[in-house]
A and B are shown apart, each in its own frame.
Chain A
Amino acid sequence: MESVKIAVKDLRSIRKEKTILVIMLLLFFVASFSSLIIIGLTFLYSPMGYATAKIGLVGNAPIFSSLVHPIRYNSLEKALEDFVNGKIDAVVVFNENVTGTNFITIYLPKEDIKAIRATLYLRRKLMEYQDVLRRIKGIPTLNLKVYEDGKEIEVPEGFSLRFRFIYVMLIPLLAVTTAIISSAFLIDSICEEIETGTLDVLLSILDLKDVIAGKLLASFILSVFLTIFWMVMLAVNGIRICNPALAMITVLSICFIMTAISLAISAFMMDREKSQLVFSIVAVSVIMLMFSTPISPIGLLVRISAGSSFSVIELTVYLTASLLAILLSLLTAEKRLNKSIGLEI
């Protein structure tokens, strides 16, 4: 019960200082920055986005021309001049060789946005061209047919980018941001009590274990609140999270792991400056590891929120492990703080 009071006190302070607004703004930023990229990707990879690239050709290439309908140029200089002036989107230079290998030089814009459109268009056309040449040589070509509801459909190249971006980048990023915020909050609230000496006052009326548990509770409530916030934000933007409850549990396991680390660090450093520094370096390693190993709670979060298959055992293991980490961290922190505070008195 005592720890609930401590948690309420800490949460009140973030409400009073309006820092909660800043945190929400931070998550909002992560989401809006990502939406910017998602919208860009959707536009660029839609068939509309690259249907209209204008290609200039220097050289003699009848089959290629019949596929691409390029603007013909007699000299590279003239073609590049038009290219730089924006009259054409790319310049292709080669003389067609039906029986041998065609070495093609392509001039593309250095500016990324312009280059993406021209590149996607040329890639598609050159693949068609390659198929035509292969057929002439009698080499079998790959002809994939895809059906939806009995009708043949066409799926644009790079279509999966948007899906990948939402589920493999954005959602993990929001989860990690939540975990970092609740850990940073925990470090601040513990170190502040130690440095300003208010911890001694608290300890005269409360047990150390209750104080630490209260701080943990506050950071837990903060993570739940923030996770709900960004999940709602995604839903408003039409991004669906399958199994929101299980996704929440996974996010919380990630938060628990990070807060367990931050609690141990602040108990050992007992200084905000040092703790935050050590924590951010450790956090970089932990997050990097979580992203680059196949067995990780972030991977599970990806699969749960995308509606892919996952095992309940994995979920249980992460949750139990993270809870154990918290418990272990709590006990270590208590032992460590008891010792050093006892020394001070």
Chain B
Amino acid sequence: MLRIILLELKAKKGWSRRFLTLLLILSVFAIIVSVHSVLNGIKIDRGIYSTNIKIDDPKFVKSENPDIMIYKGRIIVKDNLKSLSAYDEFRNYIRRIYNEWLSERYGSSAFPVLIRVIRISTRVEFGGITAGKLKEIAEIVKKGGSISKEIKQEKRGRKEFYQLIKKKERGFKERTQAKSGFLTPDELRPPSLLGKLIYAFSFVIPMYFVIQVYSSSAIEDKIKGRFELLFVAEDEWKVITGKMLPYIVLSVILTIAIMIALGKNLLGIVFLIPVILFLMALSTFTAMISRSYREMTFLTIIVSIFITTYLFIPAIFTAIPMSRISPITLLLIFFEGGNISIKEYLISTLQFYLMSLTLIYLSLNSLEIMHSQANPIEKIVEISTNVVNRYPTVFLASILSIPFVFVIEFFTLSIIFAIKYAFAIVILLIAVIEEFFKGLFIYSAFKNGLNPYVSVFLSALGFLIGEKIILFSFIPIKFLELIPIPLIAHLIASLIFVVAMRFGFGKALLASSAFHALYDGVILWSLLR
């Protein structure tokens, strides 16, 4: 395997020193520009609003037909989003001016309310407050102090505050509040969801760059027929893993570098390693099934979208237990000093390890057809036919497909918010996705001469078990008694598939999905009623 690694590194030596210097210069430039931009903030909102008088805020320009009119001490707005938004921002501007004036004229006595914020995790396990949580509270109380302690702190705080006011008088715009930890009510701002997402994203960005280089290199090896030569000399799995390894190491190094730059605990990398592995395995697989560079580019884009949704959307909703399915949620909690149990780590990362192994296994089984001109879906059917050739594999394949199903389903869920009344579409899509995977294995097994009815049972069971393992990690165990109903539904849908199979894969999929969607719809309707 070492030989393959060396070969891959050597291939990159073909990148002349000049090219590497160029890359370095460009990267340094990009980093400088990015840091500069982040520090300076967005400037594209200059002049988006208008008033009838000139004010000292770059967002506003003077106009004949203004969004807000200031007339005889009154502010007049129009009934549209832009005008009302303009007023909201104008109000902030006026408050700023007013505060500056107050602090100049009255000094510290003009700010009778100063706030210190302490944030506590309020996530409660099922069954009420736990002993661990009580202990945590006790500690907070000890640290934050009882009321008498509060008063002592107030005195210290007051001293800090007077220093602050002095500084304020020197220049109000100096953001000294952040240092003293006290805020005026105007400065009490809700947490920024977007900011958090961007922050989390900064750990993942280098991975996307590495993936890009890796996938290019992999598909080039495939198209130019280098893989065949390597397979003569080395075991197939050694070739594939040897090729991936340098890129994995590079991603880890880059991610750690970002953590160092942001001053984060380097242990955080344990949440990202499974993600890196998964992205690598996924790129290998897409390289195997795509026909051209262009197809590769776009397949990579689409799968990156799926993964990004799966990783990042849960991180917004940390209040929901299910959000811990994403390693990024755990990473953010970890960086904020929260506790993460081994069980939580395993649940969220095990699926990524499993998916990586599955994808590498599938890539190894796709070597015969990697040059075929069939479209990617046809290729997936072919690969599945290669792999699913015994009854146990039908069962196993169904279980292993669950994480993939989840990833795609998460994406469809985000669509709900884009179209009005999209529930119907989402239910249908989810049904099609689940039936596609189930049907795929039954179809493959059938093509390999296995009894379709046995496969129906095995795949429905495997699917159900896989699905519930993930779900029951998050919801209480008492719903277990409800299992027989979904099992029967899965069975019927698959039976419909088998019966319709003689008309072709597509039509069979349509029929079984229609039933599945109907079932889901009825369940949802009865739950919501």
Task: Note all chain B residues with C-beta closer than 8 A to A216.
Answer: none
Task: Note all chain A residues with C-beta closer than 8 A to B209.
Answer: 277, 280-281
Task: Note all chain A residues with C-beta closer than 8 A to B294.
Answer: 13-14, 17, 19, 185, 188-189, 192
Contacts A13-B294, A113-B319, A184-B297 given: A123-B120 contact, CB under 8 Å? no
Query: Which residues of chain B from 207 to 245 have a CB within 8 Å of any chain A CB?
Result: 209, 212-213, 216-217, 220
Tell me which of B40, B120, B415 contacts A80 (CB under 8 A). Answer: B120
Contact A85 B128 (CB under 8 A): yes
Tell me which of B61, B122, B216, B305 contacts A83 (CB under 8 A). Answer: B122
Task: Note all chain B residues with C-beta closer than 8 A to A303.
Answer: 47-48
B22 CB-CB contact with A under 8 Å: yes
Task: Note all chain B residues with C-beta closer than 8 A to A31.
Answer: 418
Tell me which of B88, B111, B150 contacts A159 (CB under 8 A). Answer: B88
Q: Which of B130-138, B359-367, B438-446 contacts A (4 or more CB under 8 A)?
A: B130-138
B119 CB-CB contact with A under 8 Å: yes
Task: Note all chain A residues with C-beta closer than 8 A to B411.
Answer: 29
A94–B140 alpha-carbon span in the complex (Å): 16
Task: Note all chain A residues with C-beta closer than 8 A to B115.
Answer: 104-106, 126
Contacts A22-B301, A26-B301, A274-B15 given: A309-B119 contact, CB under 8 Å? no
Q: Residues 131-148 of chain A: 1 if any B CB is under 8 Å from the residue's CB, otherwise 0?
A: 001100101001011111
Task: Note all chain A residues with C-beta closer than 8 A to B182.
Answer: 103
Q: Residues 66-96 of chain B: 1 if any A CB is under 8 Å from the residue's CB, otherwise 0?
A: 0000000111111101101111110100110
A313 CB-CB contact with B under 8 Å: no
Contact A112 B191 (CB under 8 A): yes
Indicate the member of A13, A14, A284 with the most B CB atoms within 10 Å: A284
B126 CB-CB contact with A under 8 Å: no
CB-nearest residue of chain A relative to B114?
A: A103
B37 CB-CB contact with A under 8 Å: yes
Task: Note all chain A residues with C-beta closer than 8 A to B316.
Answer: 40, 112-113
B340 CB-CB contact with A under 8 Å: no
Contact B82 A163 (CB under 8 A): yes
Tell me which of A95, A276, A310 contacts B212 (CB under 8 A). Answer: A276
Task: Determine how close the nearest CB of chain A comes to the CB of B493; give it in whole angstroms.
Answer: 26
Task: Note all chain B residues with C-beta closer than 8 A to A189.
Answer: 294
Contacts A162-B81, A281-B23 given: A106-B117 contact, CB under 8 Å? yes
A303–B59 alpha-carbon span in the complex (Å): 11
Tell me which of A37, A40, A129 contacts B185 (CB under 8 A). Answer: A129
A255–B296 alpha-carbon span in the complex (Å): 22
B42 CB-CB contact with A under 8 Å: yes
Task: Determine how close the nearest CB of chain A comes to the CB of B452; give it in whole angstroms.
Answer: 30
A273–B45 alpha-carbon span in the complex (Å): 36
Contact B113 A104 (CB under 8 A): yes
Contact B37 A289 (CB under 8 A): yes
A111–B120 alpha-carbon span in the complex (Å): 8
A319–B418 alpha-carbon span in the complex (Å): 32
Q: Which of B24-32, B384-392, B461-469, B501-509 contacts A (4 or more CB under 8 A)?
A: B24-32
Contacts A32-B417, A104-B114, A294-B58 given: A160-B119 contact, CB under 8 Å? no
Task: Note all chain B residues with C-beta closer than 8 A to A28.
Answer: 415, 418
A257 CB-CB contact with B under 8 Å: no
Contact A120 B319 (CB under 8 A): no
CB-nearest residue of chain A relative to B191?
A: A112
Task: Note all chain A residues with C-beta closer than 8 A to B117.
Answer: 105-106, 108
Contacts A110-B336, A292-B40 given: A32-B414 contact, CB under 8 Å? yes
Task: Note all chain B residues with C-beta closer than 8 A to A133.
Answer: 112-113
Contact A153 B48 (CB under 8 A): no
Contact A309 B61 (CB under 8 A): yes
Contact A112 B196 (CB under 8 A): yes
Dominant SS among interface residues on chain A: helix
Task: Note all chain A residues with C-beta closer than 8 A to B297.
Answer: 19, 184, 188, 276
CB-nearest residue of chain A relative to B75?
A: A146
A102–B196 alpha-carbon span in the complex (Å): 31
Tell me which of A22, A146, A308, A310 contacts B77 (CB under 8 A). Answer: A146
Task: Determine how close the nearest CB of chain B comes to the CB of A212; give it in whole angstroms.
Answer: 18
B151 CB-CB contact with A under 8 Å: yes
Indicate the member of A14, A37, A101 with the most B CB atoms within 10 Å: A101
Q: Residues 29-69 of chain A: 1 if any B CB is under 8 Å from the residue's CB, otherwise 0?
A: 10111011101100010000000000000110000000000
A58–B148 alpha-carbon span in the complex (Å): 12
Indicate the member of A155, A185, A299, A307 with the most B CB atoms within 10 Å: A155
Task: Note all chain B residues with C-beta closer than 8 A to A185.
Answer: 294
Contact A80 B319 (CB under 8 A): no
B157 CB-CB contact with A under 8 Å: yes
Q: Residues 70-101 of chain A: 1 if any B CB is under 8 Å from the residue's CB, otherwise 0?
A: 00000011001101111000000111000011
A108–B183 alpha-carbon span in the complex (Å): 14
Contact A192 B418 (CB under 8 A): no
Dominant SS among interface residues on chain B: helix
CB-nearest residue of chain B relative to A152?
A: B74
CB-nearest residue of chain B relative to A30?
A: B305
Task: Note all chain A residues with C-beta closer than 8 A to B185.
Answer: 123, 126-127, 129-130
Contact A157 B88 (CB under 8 A): yes
Task: Note all chain A residues with C-beta closer than 8 A to B3.
Answer: none
A164 CB-CB contact with B under 8 Å: yes
Task: Note all chain A residues with C-beta closer than 8 A to B47.
Answer: 303, 308-310
B147 CB-CB contact with A under 8 Å: yes
A25–B308 alpha-carbon span in the complex (Å): 14
Task: Determine how close the nearest CB of chain B comes to the CB of A77; give it in whole angstroms.
Answer: 6
Q: Which of B101-109, B247-255, B344-352 contacts A (4 or more CB under 8 A)?
A: B101-109
Contact A103 B147 (CB under 8 A): no
CB-nearest residue of chain B relative to A299?
A: B44
Task: Determine how close the nearest CB of chain B comes to the CB of A308; give it in whole angstroms.
Answer: 5
A119 CB-CB contact with B under 8 Å: yes
A156–B92 alpha-carbon span in the complex (Å): 12
Task: Note all chain A residues with C-beta closer than 8 A to B341.
Answer: none
Contact A35 B81 (CB under 8 A): no
Tell me which of B82, B128, B137, B417 contacts A39 (CB under 8 A). Answer: B417
Contact A148 B77 (CB under 8 A): yes
Task: Determine how close the nearest CB of chain A comes to the CB of B157; give it in whole angstroms.
Answer: 5
Contact B309 A80 (CB under 8 A): no
A104–B181 alpha-carbon span in the complex (Å): 12
Contact A159 B84 (CB under 8 A): yes
Task: Note all chain B residues with C-beta closer than 8 A to A172.
Answer: 44
Task: Determine how close the nearest CB of chain A comes to the CB of B338; give it in whole angstroms.
Answer: 7
Query: Which residues of chain B from 126 to 171 have a CB within 8 Å of any chain A CB?
Result: 128-129, 133-134, 137-138, 140-141, 144, 146-147, 150-151, 153-154, 157-158, 161
Interface set of B (CB-CB < 8 Å, partner A): 15, 19, 22-23, 26-27, 29-30, 33-34, 36-37, 40-50, 58, 61, 63, 73-79, 81-82, 84-89, 91, 94-95, 98, 102, 106, 108-124, 128-129, 133-134, 137-138, 140-141, 144, 146-147, 150-151, 153-154, 157-158, 161, 182, 184-186, 188-191, 193-194, 196, 209, 212-213, 216-217, 220, 291-295, 297-299, 301-302, 305, 309, 313, 316-319, 336, 338, 375, 411, 414-415, 417-420
Instruction: Please name 13 pairs of A and B residues whose Cβ atoms are closer than 8 Å in the assembled complex, sorted by A.
Output: A33-B309, A80-B120, A84-B133, A101-B112, A111-B121, A130-B184, A157-B88, A160-B85, A163-B82, A169-B194, A281-B27, A294-B43, A294-B44
Interface set of A (CB-CB < 8 Å, partner B): 13-14, 17-19, 22-23, 25-26, 28-29, 31-33, 35-37, 39-40, 44, 58-59, 76-77, 80-81, 83-86, 93-95, 100-116, 119-120, 122-123, 126-127, 129-130, 133-134, 137, 139, 142, 144-149, 153, 155-160, 162-164, 167-169, 172, 184-185, 188-189, 191-192, 236-237, 272-274, 276-278, 280-282, 284-285, 288-294, 296, 298-299, 302-303, 306-310
- In the A-B complex, the 3 residue pairs with the smallest Cβ-Cβ separation, listed nearest first, are A32-B418, A273-B216, A160-B85
8 new A-B pairs (CB below 8 Å) besides A113-B316, A134-B112?
Answer: A40-B193, A40-B316, A44-B190, A77-B138, A110-B122, A188-B293, A288-B37, A296-B43
